[in-house]
Chain A
């Protein structure tokens, strides 16, 4: 169990940042808590009796404004760090702008957990298998980091690909707090997400792939296709070679087939590498077809399995 001496629930962002800046070493920020509490148990971070003790927990769920989603003047979206996964299924703004998040969110943990778990928390947890990270890579996301310094809030942005450094490791510096994820709007794209684990609900991905695609107006070529892979190495990555191969090219099964074999060398996991390579190949095919189908475009003669 996570135990603490002090549990704080600030209601303003500046207050939260100040508390965090002043918190004793080893203190923790907490949002939904759905990763942190299971982490603080036997067999994971817990000691012999299954506890992890920290000085202070700063709970961010009551910080005003953290759960806001805004459309920025540059066309990007700013998703507050308090936005939970369930919002991607229900919020009309998010549904319209991030169609590829719906199939990700619907597979995410379970019905109860995704009402507490935040996208930002999923990213900060930096699991190689984090389901939320690949779709955000696809959306060219940046992580908005805030800190309290010199009596004021300071801000910086780090590209998501530079933020997640390895299993459980991020570019967060002491005093940093993720306050938002800023990403592209993908309105008008089709979205798809594939994941495999050991069962069908409440399951950690062995491999997951996110994709969004937009055909050109006459439906014959890929105008923009983006893809990212998770569970295949220390960090989720964009499948840039697939994107390069398909973008501008014809919407054909042959093209997709050829592209599906490209990212296999990206599979750098220490375990189950052959398995993951095969799944990636199949999933690339499925997500491209799925993203097109989400746009109402069904390619004839879907070739199926390998």
Chain B
């Protein structure tokens, strides 16, 4: 292999290596000299996770052949902190909660550093421009920009440096803006994600993927690949030792294609070799003989008789049909004053977490098959993997590596099986790192849905009947489709008391990229339809959109569509909160934008005009029209229509600290910090005293997956119960020592005392007393159960959740009528979270959810043609940048859950629900065109404007 000498100074260290000339600077930094703080998010210069300084200039190291850096001075994120002291920018990112999953953060910190080095007084516009090449998928950018401005002001001396420190510890930590306990490792680049891990004797894996949408595998020829020097193993479906098949509801997906391929991008074979280049070369030597089969790409076509069959077990291609009905819909339509009908379409959306999938598998010293990967559900993965490997379950161990964003996309076990089989075969550690293109083409998407809607109303605004039918493309494998169809159905009619409802959702097999779990799990699609449809109805009846929702909204004791009687319902409070926060001017949604008087408030941003550093001759607002829209939402907390459970162990530890062990899955939402706050309050210590054991099926009790907005609800309650158990044991010993009643014992912030006595000591001393004097280790365990009931298979009746949340968002947009571009300038988002444990974290979830909703509303679109995507990378799959996002005003509404110890509910998924319909309704308000098929691209809006002007039937709208 060709080689050349490269020398450079990296973070002050002179480095010289003989390397392949094909390396990029990014590979050199990460693989040769192990500065893994620099991340690879896309490999094509589109995301900025790899930004480093070269000779003082910020560059994207994935676009830089290593030879270009020969002789250069390179600075990576690891080089910023001097002697381990974070820079003000790093501290500010920590303080304001600017990091969530953390994968984009090293690049963001570098871009922020570049901006302030070049101009220490950069204004917000300039800061945004300087961050315009760095994508963040979690935060919505608002807290990142806030962090840079805070750091700027501290460095300029215009704000005190103390603002970078933790706020003074309050007596109660639940409810405080405790800084994220996992942020320091994210802002410094020290946190190692799966692709950053190495082991001695490690092999590199590469996967051969199908280039056919549907084909029988006649033969896989692996001998040439196996014979290539450096290749340690080649595996196919024939090498699966146990029962091949994984999935969430039906185990229909083989580890590698078995007998036939069902979508482009499906794994067919995998190679492990001494180095990546050899593994790639071997993949190119594998010969697969295919016999193409007729394929089906449209779910409605797939349901027709005679359509190509994707799976033999489903000759009709139906994955799942979920019906829910109550009342008599047809009779109600007959009596309704108005009937409004329309059809809506939502597109497939890519999760686009910045961390592509990666994993490292090895056999531990006891021979246990161990897979380290950023999985959102290692509990379930271990179950499936034990069957696939035909091993006792305790011979399989899954360890969650830090998850660089998930959003549901890392719930499916699409590569861990290959890693496990390969490590068993080669008896060596094996690592697989996806490229961005691998990730986009092979992993699940948000289910696209085609939703027909018919709503009957009385002239006073009461909804008397809703008839909804949704057909959804599940793609080639079942994955989460059944659950997605269930949630789409249960929540679809919206948080409205409708006496007569019929909703049917159908998930269908096709030869498209599979659809799977994605933040809101189907609710986004059906609630989008409902919330845009209500705008049509409000217009028809001349009602304000808040008013039509107030008239119909659930109130305390209302009955849901599944005939569950609700307890406390916060919808009315949430609607009022959003209306008040946005200073909404009442009126029906009849294109009021041009005459509204509630636009352009200080809590909107200015429209983006690039050139903050060179502004001159900016044109006025000609051709640009503003408007506002709103939408509401509801969501159920934790697993749907099935009992949910989570466990935790706690030890009150030496020094007045605590260890918490639980199978929690931090995917960036901040759950570890929430658990530290809960533990601190329950035990009477500080969050900084809490150490939380990582998720590891061999070390921590089951707490199951990150999904269903369940972690705060399930795991925080489990941890609280475990803490209370430990405290019972602990307090009894301290009380015995002091000769007081245990009920007199109180502890706060590291101090413990007996009420109405002079007994008082530090928790550190108390632990010493408990262990050394009393001989008791103060441990506790907790298990929390949410007893949800299944749905009746015919009527859909049931109690799918015990806790519900409600949300409402107002959007303000500006539409450029020349280009059709939409800029979202403001979002006011009110959400019930039950009880706010970390308000700043909740804001972060809302801001991030809003921006994901904005992406789906306006730009994101996973495009397929005959099963082949044309959106392989971030150049074509368009994500919002910092220049595309609104000012978000979050309003937290607290309606505590009476059935759980802490009262907290959740926010992760529901934050996204109202955004897209609010934006679409705002576009209508501005320019009078209704987009019913997402995304509302500039071209679609222009086409609708053209149709409106020509007075023809709008191509994308019907009223």
Which of A's residues lie within 8 Å of B, judged by CB?
1-7, 9, 30, 32-34, 37-38, 41-44, 47-51, 57, 59, 61, 89, 102-103, 106-107, 109-113, 115-116, 190, 192, 196, 198-204, 206, 272, 274-275, 278-279, 282-283, 286, 289-290, 293-296, 302-306
Q: Which chain B residues numbered 13 to 71 have a C-beta less than 8 Å away from chain A?
A: 20-22, 24, 43-46, 48, 51, 57-60, 62-65, 67-68, 70
Q: Are B45 and A113 in contact (CB under 8 A)?
A: yes
Q: Is B780 interfacial (CB 8 A cutoff)?
A: no
Check if A275 sits within 8 Å of B872, measured CB to CB. no
Judging by beta carbons under 8 Å apart, are B280 and A202 in contact?
no
A127 to B489, CA, bound (A): 46
What residues of B have a CB within 8 angstroms of the CB of A41 in the complex?
43-44, 435, 437, 872-873
Q: How far is the CA of A196 from the CA of B435 in the complex (A)?
A: 29
B707 contacts chain A at the CB level, 8 A cutoff: no
- Please, which residue of chain B has its CB at the minimum distance from the CB of A292? B617
Contact of B610 among A106, A295, A303 (CB under 8 A): A106
CA A46 – CA B880 in complex, angstroms? Answer: 26
Nearest to B130 among chain A residues (CB) is A111
Supply 9 A–B pairs (Cβ within 8 Å), ascending by A. A37-B24, A48-B211, A112-B51, A115-B57, A190-B617, A196-B938, A200-B884, A274-B943, A303-B622
The answer to whether B63 and A37 touch across the interface, beta carbons within 8 angstroms, is: yes
Segment at the interface with A among B315-323, B818-826, B891-899: B818-826
Residues of B within 8 Å of A102, CB to CB, are: 611, 614
> Contact at A2–B22, with CB atoms within 8 Å?
yes
How many angstroms from the CA of A50 to the CA of B611 in the assembled complex?
36
Interface hub of A42, A204, A306 (most chain B Cβ within 10 A): A42
Q: How far is the CB of B613 from chain A (nearest CB, A)?
A: 7
From known contacts A1-B22, A41-B437, A272-B939, infer whether A286 and B280 are also in contact, taking CB-CB under 8 Å: no
CB <8 Å contact, B883 and A199 = yes
Question: Assuming A57-B65, A116-B63, is B884 touching A199 (CB within 8 A)?
Answer: yes
B659: interface (CB < 8 Å): no
Nearest A-chain residue to B861, judged by Cβ: A198
Please indicate the chain B residues that have their CB under 8 angstroms from the CB of A196 in the complex: 819-821, 938
Residue of A nearest to B823 (CB): A200
Q: Give the residues in chain A near B821, CB-CB below 8 Å.
A: 196
With A37-B24, A37-B45, A111-B129 as known contacts, state yes or no: A293 contacts B617, CB within 8 Å. Answer: yes
A286 — which chain B residues lie within 8 A by C-beta? Answer: 619, 623, 818
In the complex, the answer to whether A201 meets B881 with C-beta atoms within 8 Å is yes
Task: Report B833-880 residues with CB < 8 Å from chain A CB.
Answer: 859, 869, 872-873, 875, 878-880
* Contact A115–B59 (Cβ < 8 Å): yes
A51 to B276, alpha carbons, bound, how many Å?
A: 12
B64 close to A43 (CB less than 8 A): no
Please provide the chain B residues from 653 to 692 with a CB less than 8 Å away from any CB of chain A in the complex: none
Contacts of B817 in A (CB 8 A): 282, 304-306
Query: For the complex, is B408 an interface residue (Cβ under 8 Å from A)?
Result: no
In the complex with contacts A200-B610, A200-B881, A202-B132, A275-B616 CB distance below 8 A: no
Cβ–Cβ contact A49 & B284, under 8 A: yes
| A202 and B617 within 8 A (CB) | no
The count of residues in chain B whose C-beta lies closer than 8 Å to any C-beta of chain A is 78
Query: Is the beta-carbon distance between A302 and B45 smaller than 8 angstroms?
Result: no
Whether the Cβ atoms of A2 and B622 lie closer than 8 Å is: no
State the 3 A-B residue pairs at the shortest beta-carbon distance, nearest first: A110-B133, A43-B872, A282-B818
| B882 at interface by CB-CB < 8 Å | yes
Question: In chain B, residues 264-297, which have Cβ atoms closer than 8 Å to a Cβ of chain A?
Answer: 277, 280, 283-284
Name the residue among B70, B130, B881, B939 with the largest chain A CB count within 10 angstroms.
B939
> In the assembled complex, which residues on chain B have CB atoms less than 8 Å from the CB atom of A6?
2, 21
Contact of B881 among A50, A115, A202 (CB under 8 A): A202
B620 touches A275 (CB 8 A): no
Residue B4 interfacial (CB < 8 Å): yes
Determine if A274 and B623 form an interchain contact, defined as CB atoms under 8 angstroms apart. no
- Cα distance A43–B333 when bound, in Å? 50
In the complex with contacts A2-B22, A111-B58, A275-B943, A49-B818 CB distance below 8 A: no
Known contacts A103-B611, A293-B619; A1/B284 CB under 8 A:
no
Q: Once the chains are docked, how many angstroms separate the CA of A5 from the CA of B3?
A: 8
Residues of B within 8 A of A (CB): 2, 4, 20-22, 24, 43-46, 48, 51, 57-60, 62-65, 67-68, 70, 111, 114, 129-130, 132-133, 206, 208-209, 211, 277, 280, 283-284, 435, 437-438, 441, 608, 610-611, 613-614, 616-620, 622-623, 817-821, 823, 859, 869, 872-873, 875, 878-884, 937-939, 942-943, 946, 949
Given A199-B883, A200-B884, A306-B949, 6 extra CB contacts under 8 A = A7-B4, A41-B44, A48-B209, A111-B133, A112-B59, A199-B881
| Least distance between A62 CB and chain B CB atoms (Å) | 9
Q: Residue on A with the closest CB to B211?
A: A48
Instruction: Report how far A293 CA is from B619 CA in the complex, Å.
Output: 8
Separation in Å of the B38 CB from the closest CB of chain A? Answer: 13
CB distance from A31 to the nearest CB of B (A): 10
A294 nearest CB across to chain B (Å): 4
Inter-subunit contact A304/B623 (CB<8 Å): yes
The residue from B206, B284, B818 contacting A47, defined by CB atoms under 8 A apart:
B284
Q: Are B70 and A9 touching (Cβ within 8 A)? A: yes
In the bound assembly, the distance between CA atoms of A133 and B283 in angstroms comes to: 40
Using Cβ atoms and an 8 Å threshold, which residues of chain A touch B132? 110-111, 200-202
Q: Would A42 and B65 be within 8 Å (CB), given that A49-B284, A278-B942 are in contact?
A: no
Chain B neighbourhood of A3, CB < 8 A? 20, 22, 277
Which of chain B's residues have a CB closer than 8 A to the CB of A2? Answer: 22, 65
Kindly provide the distance from the CB of A97 to the nearest chain B CB, expressed in whole angstroms.
16
Q: In whole angstroms, what is the CA distance A117 to B114 when docked? A: 18
Closest CB in chain A relative to B621 CB, distance in Å = 8
Q: Which residues of B contact A49 (CB under 8 A)?
A: 206, 280, 283-284
Docked pose: A296 CA to B616 CA in angstroms: 9
Chain A residues contacting B58 (CB-CB under 8 Å) are 111-112, 115
Tell me if A48 and B62 are in contact (CB < 8 A).
no
Determine whether the beta carbon of B881 is less than 8 Å from that of A304: no
A140 to B130, CA, bound (A): 32
A34 adjacent to B63 (CB under 8 Å): yes
Contact assessment for A112 and B873 in the assembled complex, using a CB-CB cutoff below 8 Å = no
Inter-chain contact A306/B63, CB cutoff 8 Å: no
Q: How far does the alpha carbon of A260 sit from the alpha carbon of B473 in the complex, in Å?
A: 44
Q: Are A33 and B68 in contact (CB under 8 A)?
A: yes
| Residues on A with beta carbons closer than 8 Å to the beta carbon of B4 | 7
Is A198's CB under 8 angstroms from B937's CB?
yes
Identify which of B44, B60, B65 gathers the most chain A CB atoms within 10 Å of its CB: B65
Whole-angstrom distance from the CB of B814 to the nearest CB of chain A?
12
Q: Which residues on the A side are within 8 Å of B435 (C-beta)?
A: 41-42, 50
- Nearest A residue to B60 via CB reads A112
Return the chain A residue nearest B208 by Cβ: A48
Question: B881 contacts A289, CB within 8 Å?
Answer: no
Contact status B67-A59, CB under 8 Å: yes
A211 CB to nearest B CB, Å: 12
Q: CB distance B617 to A290 under 8 Å?
A: yes
Q: A residues within 8 A CB of B613?
A: 89, 106
Residues of B within 8 A of A296 (CB): 617
For the complex, what is the distance from the CA of A74 to the CA of B512, rounded to whole Å?
60
